[in-house]
Amino acid sequence: MRHIDHLVVHCAATPEGKPFTVKDIDRWHRERGFRCIGYHYVIYLDGSIHPGRPVEEIGAHVKGHNRSSIGICYIGGVAADGRTAKDTRTPAQKEALETFLRSLKRKYPGAAILGHRDFPKVRKACPSFNAKKEYAHIK
């Protein structure tokens, strides 16, 4: 198993309330030249958690930090206009994400929980909320 230093929260940058799937993200990432979906997990609007790229494999979600991280993406992150960053997590997504991060933190106790935007040289709003601050209490 890989050594994991970071649990990275992402948004799919999809419009608020519109359902998308792992299959959709896999297609988008392949169109960008990725081998397959770059995230390890995707959280749907209903809070269900779906596997993406196997955790044993290096992801493709934070340039320069994929070797030792796990990428978790929630569907949404953009207002209905399709452009404006917005925390669009449903109550079910919020609950699922926190519960899942707690579970991952038990498995990888040394891993820091960060949002994509918390990494150096990242000029994105992703995940459209302050994940580092929101999940600081998870030890």
Residue whose pair of structure tokens reads 């796990």 in the numeric block = 70
Residue 139's pLDDT is 87
Q: State pLDDT tens for residues 12-62.
A: 999 999 999 999 999 999 999 999 999 999 999 999 999 999 999 999 999
Four-CA torsion 44, 50, 52, 57, nearest 10 degrees: 130
Mean per-residue pLDDT of the chain: 96
Active-site residue, selected from the candidate residues 6, 39, 86, 108? 39
Q: State pLDDT tens for residues 73-113.
A: 999 999 999 899 999 999 999 999 999 999 999 999 999 99
- Catalytic residue status for 44: no
* Contact criterion met (CB below 8 Å) for 97 and 87: no
CA atoms within 13 A on the CB side of 76: 22
What is the pTM assigned to this prediction? 0.96
- Catalytic residue status for 65: no
Domains with residue ranges and CATH for the chain: 6-134 (3.40.80.10)
Residue 1's pLDDT is 72
Query: How far apart are the C-alpha atoms of 78 and 113, rounded to whole Å?
Result: 21
- Catalytic residue status for 10: yes
